[in-house]
Amino acid sequence: MINQMSQNGHTPNAFSNAFKEIEIGKLMRKSNITKACGISAYEVFQFLLLLVFQGKNLFRFLNSKHKDRAVSKNTYYRFLNETSYNWSKFLLLLAAKVATVFDALTRPERVKVLILDDSVIKRNRSKSVELLARVFDHVEHKYQKGFTLLALGWSDGYSFIPTGFNMLSSANESNRYNEISNQIDHRTNGYKFRKESMMHKTDAAVLLVKNALNAGIKADYVLMDTWFTTEPMIREILATGIDAIGMVKQLKQRYIYNEKQYTLPELKKFVCFEGARNIFGSLVVTTKTGIPVKIVFVRNSNKKSECLYILSTNCSLSDEEIVRIYGNRWSIECFFKSSKSFMKLGTEFQSHNYGAMVSHTAIVFTRYIILEWIRRKENDQKTYGELFFMFCEDIQDMDLANALQSLMALFVEHISTLSADITSMIKSKVTEWMLSQASFIQALFRNICWES
pLDDT band at 155 (very low <50, low <70, confident <90, very high): very high
What is the model's pLDDT at position 7? 36
Domain finish residue from 27, 51, 82: 82
In a domain, 117, yes or no: yes
Cβ atoms within 10 Å of 443's Cβ, excluding its own: 12
DSSP 8-state assignment for residue 2: T
Same domain, 224 and 271: yes
pLDDT band at 14 (very low <50, low <70, confident <90, very high): confident
In a domain, 450, yes or no: no
Same domain, 67 and 132: no
In a domain, 338, yes or no: yes
Burial class of residue 428, CB neighbours in 10 A (0-12, 13-18, 19+)? exposed
Counted domains in the chain: 3
Same domain, 318 and 266: yes
Same domain, 227 and 342: yes
pLDDT band at 427 (very low <50, low <70, confident <90, very high): confident
Domain finish residue from 39, 65, 82: 82
In a domain, 393, yes or no: no
Mean pLDDT, the chain, rounded, equals 86
Give the pLDDT confidence of 111-148 residue by residue, as tens digits. Answer: 999 999 999 999 999 999 999 999 999 889 999 999 99
What is the model's pLDDT at position 156? 93
Give the pLDDT confidence of 157-216 residue by residue, as tens digits. Answer: 989 999 999 999 999 999 999 999 999 999 999 999 999 999 999 999 999 999 999 999
Same domain, 142 and 37: no
Mean per-residue pLDDT, 320-328: 95
Residue 427: give the domain boundaries.
404-444
Same domain, 77 and 92: no
What is the model's pLDDT at position 255? 94
Same domain, 111 and 148: yes
pLDDT band at 301 (very low <50, low <70, confident <90, very high): confident
Spatial separation of the C-alpha atoms in residues 425 and 420, rounded to whole Å: 9
pLDDT band at 15 (very low <50, low <70, confident <90, very high): confident
**Portion of the chain with pLDDT greater than 90, in percent:** 62
pLDDT band at 397 (very low <50, low <70, confident <90, very high): very low
Mean per-residue pLDDT, 272-299: 89
In a domain, 47, yes or no: yes
Same domain, 135 and 182: yes
With beta carbons less than 8 A apart as the criterion, state whether 225 and 246 touch. yes
With beta carbons less than 8 A apart as the criterion, state whether 80 and 353 touch. yes
Q: Could you tell me how far CA 285 lies from the centroid of its own chain?
A: 36
Same domain, 29 and 132: no
In a domain, 229, yes or no: yes
What is the model's pLDDT at position 398? 47
Same domain, 373 and 305: yes
Domain finish residue from 82, 111, 141: 82
Spatial separation of the C-alpha atoms in residues 135 and 167, rounded to whole Å: 12
Statement: residue 392 has pLDDT above 80: no
Q: What is the CATH number of the domain that holds 222?
A: 3.90.350.10
Spatial separation of the C-alpha atoms in residues 301 and 3, rounded to whole Å: 51
- Highest mean pLDDT, choosing among 269-273, 291-295, 402-406: 291-295
Same domain, 156 and 10: no
pLDDT band at 223 (very low <50, low <70, confident <90, very high): very high
In a domain, 131, yes or no: yes
| Cβ-proximal residues to 269 (8 Å cutoff; 6+ apart), any chain | none
Same domain, 108 and 75: no
